[in-house]
Amino acid sequence: MDQARDDIWAIEHRHSVRRFTGEAVPADVRAELERAVAAANATSGLHMQLAWDEPEAFKTMLAHYGKFQNACNYLALVGPKGPDLDELCGYFGEKIVLLAQRLGLNSCWVGGTFSRKRTRCNVGAGERLVMVVALGLGVDDGRPRRSKGISELSNTHGLVMPDWFQHGMQAAALAPTALNQQHFIFTLDRDRTRVRAQSTGGFFSKVDLGIAECHFELASGHAVEDSATSRLADSRAGEKGGR
């Protein structure tokens, strides 16, 4: 499979998993994920970090409530405080999650049912730990969840959806969101060539928006305008142009 097909396969086959076998993640898989995190951090300005064989973050009553089992590896989503932090963590974090899926690992986005104090990561001055993603070899591969229809998650101004927009929305509808709330909407411009997305509110909804934007762009081949990642790209281009 080529990269695009690999991404779509991962989007379609990745489901939330909270019970892990406790088996060690192979060294080659760890190394590939570490390289991917380093590259994503360099692109995004985030400070995402992987923790291996570290169960302390999930040794809490909250984790028990969340029904986690043998969760001892995770991706800590850390970055500079700012209005786009949550969205960037969702977008770039999901890139790592999809790679992990392709490498044979399972995952679960975790916003509240872990111990922030026990999380093994470096949170620098001016930074914030947004959430973590549990990673590992799952007891099973999880199962699909119910999703809203793409018409409920989009606004096309009554226009017929172009194929690329429909493909993007089908992938966005598969994005994991807090409590499956799916509080986002993608708007197709009247010229049918541009798209924007926004959160409709709720806890962790900006993270969810970033995840959905990641799915949309991978499946449609079209960039979402006025997004955190587009603003980041514009900022980086401006820095280069000013030198």
199 neighbors 183 (Cβ within 8 angstroms): yes
Are 41 and 87 a contacting pair, CB within 8 Å? no
CATH number attached to the domain at 3-136: 3.40.109.10
The per-residue pLDDT for 13 is: 98
| Residue 221 dihedral angles phi and psi, to the nearest 5° | 75, 10
pTM: 0.95
Residue whose structure tokens are 């790679």: 99
Instruction: Give 139's DSSP letter.
Output: S
Band the pLDDT of 239: cuts 50, 70, 90. Answer: confident
Domain definitions of the chain by residue range: 3-136, 154-232
Neighbours of 52 (CB within 10 A): 16
pLDDT exceeds 90 at position 93:
yes
pLDDT, tens digit (0-9, with 9 covering 90-100), for 190-207: 999 999 999 999 999 999
CB atoms closer than 10 angstroms to residue 145: 12
pLDDT at 64: 54
Residue 237 and residue 242: Cα distance in Å, rounded? 9
pLDDT recorded at residue 61:
67
Contact 47, 122 (CB under 8 A): yes
